[in-house]
Chains A and B, each alone.
Chain A
Amino acid sequence: MVGITSYGAYVPLYRLSREAIARGARGEKAICNFDEDSITMAAAASIDCLTGIDRETIDGLYFATTTSPYKEKSGAAIVAMATDLKENVFTADFAHSLRAGTSALMSAIDAVKAGSAKKVMVTAADTRLGVPTSPYEQNFGDGAGALLIGDSNVIATIEASYSVYSEIMDVWRADGDTFIRSWEDRFTTTHGYTAVVGEAISGLLKKTGLKPGDLAKVVLYTPDARRSADLAKKLGFDVKTQLQDPFFNNMGSTGTALPLMLLVAALEEAKAGDRILLASYGNGSDAFVLQVTEQIQKIKGRRGMKGHLESKKVIDDYKQYLVWRGILPIELRKETVAFISAPALWRERDANLRFHGVKCQVCGTIQYPPQRVCTKCHAKDQFEPYRLSDKKAKIFTYSMDYITYPVLERPVVNAAIDFDGGGRTLCYLTDREAEQVQCGLPVEMSFRKLFVKDGIHNYFWKAIPLRT
């Protein structure tokens, strides 16, 4: 039986108080740090999803977003590298539509059903920008979700699906646009979201013979605080007991990622036998019915939606958000950054993106970056790759620099960290408060962007204080 075998999510640490955007606006929206984007968030959600799972067993990764930092170049390959998947697997990018998350999900289900893959990772992330101070800016949040699709140890089987497509100009972003454009609400609600998602759900219920009351949970994409509730009510669901909370108050609408993230939240609360309805939106709608199995009890140790939503730092400085997103330039002079070289990035890709160090096969010493000579026993070329991205660490010593780059962060914290199990490296500490930095601070690794130069997004790993 094909279905979901694991799940994971990522919500950035930072939340912007909506009051900071517009007086009287309620709640918070999740915002990624200046060094995060859809690729880094998708990597984080995928890694959360793979907790306790051998990464060698994954044979596909689909990445969905409308906000890839690249117009031409695969994001899925970068996510697969950060996730440390083997190289001979199928990767694909699903883009250009808010429905891309469920498009990827549908394709993964079909691939496993057809037998061309056994375990496919589906991950979706978005960091959409609304015009500053607009309702869109207030409504949007940043985040990522990940689902592993397979045919054994399934925690929720895919019972049925039903899709419709619909051509309408309701929300769009043309090539060259930074911000989302839209037609007025009166038109988009009536002829867009409500009509189209309604049609997909009605079609699915008719196809399966299920009635609204047969579903434990209804998971609906929503562009704002109340649209999904209005729709659920109209379709005969009990909003209070059946509709999955869209986390509008503490996260916002995360675009392509939202259906997957909300499904993760529903699965976190689900029990065996529950039927869940999932529906996306974006020039059409994909609707699915899932049924939760006994395996659900075995899923443990993920931060998921719950863990990530609880771990947060609220900021109320709107200017900071604008600077982080590059909307407000803070420096006229070009930032001095280290050189960037495509050959160097390519050559060091396993160390940079997979965060592979080496372990000496003679004495067991762990070193990062990878070396040819062991620092301890001086053995040569007797190393095996050693993944450090999933190891916890502690700060050995650090500096707090007020003059160096990136200028977006003051002070810049560089730390020498000692990994549990061995190995020491020097890296940035991000997502931190200057006051909390101290020797001995427990940290974990997070896939981030060092800097952008010549249109090259230079990804690498940084340490973050352990998210609790």
Chain B
Amino acid sequence: MEDIAIVGAGQSAFSRSCGESIRELCFEAYKEALEGLDITGNDIDASIICSAPEYDKQRSPSGLISEYLELTPKPTFYVETVCSSSSTGLRVAWSLIKAGLHKVVAVIGFQKMSELSSRDAAERMGRGGDIIWESPFGVTMPAGYAMYARAHMAKYGTTEEQLAKVRVKNSHYGVTNPKANYRKELSLEDILNSEVITSPLKKFDCCANADGSSCIILARGDVAKGISKTPIWIAGLGAATDTMSMAGRESLTGLRCAQEAARQAYKMAGIKPQDVDVAEVHDCFTVSEILAYEDLGFAKPGEGAGLIEDKETYADGKMPVNVDGGLLSKGHPIGATGGSQIRTIVRQLRGEATEAQVEGAEIGLVHNIGGVGQYGNVTIVRR
């Protein structure tokens, strides 16, 4: 199955400085992804542009990005699953290559969130929920995950302090990531005493909106070996969907879409959770990382908080998670996030991480969620 590889992975700095347009943002990631590769734009057979719509005025951005990166006249199109758009883009790129249509495909994710006020951005994000039955109640992303947190706390006794410990870890690694927006180490007290956003989630339990882009270049195995010295092979792909309406879900203590996506990806890769050496999980909120531990099988249901208590998800722990600082430190330009997670894992497996390097990492996993637990995507890669 290991016949499609990631040959290039790049991202822009994630920032809130409003300094770049969407085309310039995309160029930053594209440029980094092509570094060290023996190809030019002419060798890219198709581009898939991924973002969540309505954050900027541009409709059909794929045409614009494709033009700016000089990828015309090759085909380009747009893929969207909110915060997991670029993971879905990667899945589509894999299928295009697998089907024999293309040999090299670029997956470019971006989001420019600074064009809107935070409030308008929250409203757009809320409209990722059902606009007739949910978002009119002002249900925002933090509110959705706060319900998961509350249910997890009620069922398993997870505490706000344990949630905060996730941010302590991620802020610790964020300091070392030059692409991260937040590079300040936070103490448990800083987090617990920060302003309440949607209880039990406080300011530092939440990731921040940011502008950013990512670019992943996939190639057919034989081609990959020719253009990259260190291709990273796609071993497992999983994708699943839960109901959009939160009230329609079987459980509010775990993400069913992530559990199902993980099951598919492990099966395709032929590995078990304990075989994973390093993982990037979708920590849009601290609670999301704890849910991810459980949904990915790193911990049993209800025991996710124990992993962070025991520091097992630090770089030198049993199961290093988000050692690039995670979304909590990097910021979350939603369409770019999945690609940024892939980039981190690619660098880890190549032994090129400038952040904490997990020594000898062979197998990496990316967990990327769209909406409040709606679209689950798990990608497993190997050296």
Contact, CB under 8 Å: B198 / A396: no
* A350-393 interface bits toward B, Cβ cutoff 8 Å, 1 = contact, 0 = none: 00000000000000000111000001000000000000000000
Contact, CB under 8 Å: B133 / A405: no
Contact partner of B136 (CB less than 8 A), chosen from A338, A399, A401, A411, is: A338
Which residues of chain A in 398-429 are interfacial with respect to chain B, using CB atoms and an 8 Å cutoff?
398-406, 411-412, 414, 416, 424-428
* A90-124 interface bits toward B, Cβ cutoff 8 Å, 1 = contact, 0 = none: 00000000000000000000000000000000000
Given that A397-B148, A397-B150, A397-B151 are contacting pairs, would A403 and B247 also be in contact in the complex, using a CB cutoff of 8 Å? no
Contact, CB under 8 Å: B248 / A367: yes
Q: Does B234 contact A (CB under 8 A)?
A: no
Q: Does A22 contact B (CB under 8 A)?
A: no
Q: Does B154 contact A (CB under 8 A)?
A: yes
Q: Does B119 contact A (CB under 8 A)?
A: yes
Nearest to A462 among chain B residues (CB) is B137
> In whole angstroms, how far apart are the Cα atoms of A460 and B138 in the complex?
13
Nearest to A404 among chain B residues (CB) is B138
Contact partner of A427 (CB less than 8 A), chosen from B126, B132, B137, B151, is: B137
Which residues of chain B in 116-137 are interfacial with respect to chain A, using CB atoms and an 8 Å cutoff?
119-120, 122-123, 126-127, 131-137
Contact partner of A404 (CB less than 8 A), chosen from B126, B132, B199, is: B126
> In whole angstroms, how far apart are the Cα atoms of A431 and B376 in the complex?
36
A430 to chain B, nearest CB (A): 11
Which residues of A lie under 8 Å from residue B134 when comparing CB positions? Answer: 426
Which residues of A lie under 8 Å from residue B243 when comparing CB positions? Answer: 375
Contact, CB under 8 Å: B146 / A339: no
Q: Does B246 contact A (CB under 8 A)?
A: yes
Which residues of chain B in 269-314 are interfacial with respect to chain A, using CB atoms and an 8 Å cutoff?
none
Given that A338-B135, A369-B132, A458-B136 are contacting pairs, would A404 and B143 also be in contact in the complex, using a CB cutoff of 8 Å? yes
Contact, CB under 8 Å: A403 / B154: no
> In whole angstroms, how far apart are the Cα atoms of A282 and B117 in the complex?
50
Contact partner of A414 (CB less than 8 A), chosen from B133, B137, B154, B197, is: B137
Q: Does A160 contact B (CB under 8 A)?
A: no
Given that A411-B198, A411-B199, A426-B245 are contacting pairs, would A399 and B126 also be in contact in the complex, using a CB cutoff of 8 Å? no
Q: Does A53 contact B (CB under 8 A)?
A: no
Given that A416-B252, A458-B136 are contacting pairs, would A403 and B142 also be in contact in the complex, using a CB cutoff of 8 Å? yes
Residue pairs across A and B with Cβ atoms less than 8 A apart, 24 shown, are: A336-B119, A336-B122, A338-B127, A338-B138, A369-B132, A375-B243, A375-B248, A396-B151, A396-B252, A397-B151, A399-B143, A399-B198, A400-B146, A400-B196, A403-B198, A404-B126, A404-B139, A404-B143, A405-B138, A412-B138, A416-B247, A424-B248, A427-B137, A428-B138
Taking A402-B197, A403-B197 as given, write out 20 further A-B residue pairs in contact, using a Cβ cutoff of 8 Å, ordered by the A residue number.
A336-B120, A369-B132, A396-B151, A397-B147, A398-B147, A401-B143, A402-B196, A403-B119, A403-B142, A403-B198, A404-B126, A404-B140, A414-B143, A416-B252, A424-B247, A424-B248, A426-B134, A426-B247, A428-B138, A458-B136
The 4 A-B pairs with the shortest beta carbon distances in the complex, nearest first, are A399-B146, A397-B151, A404-B138, A401-B198
Which residues of B approach A to under 8 Å, CB–CB?
A: 119-120, 122-123, 126-127, 131-140, 142-148, 150-151, 154, 195-199, 243, 245-248, 252
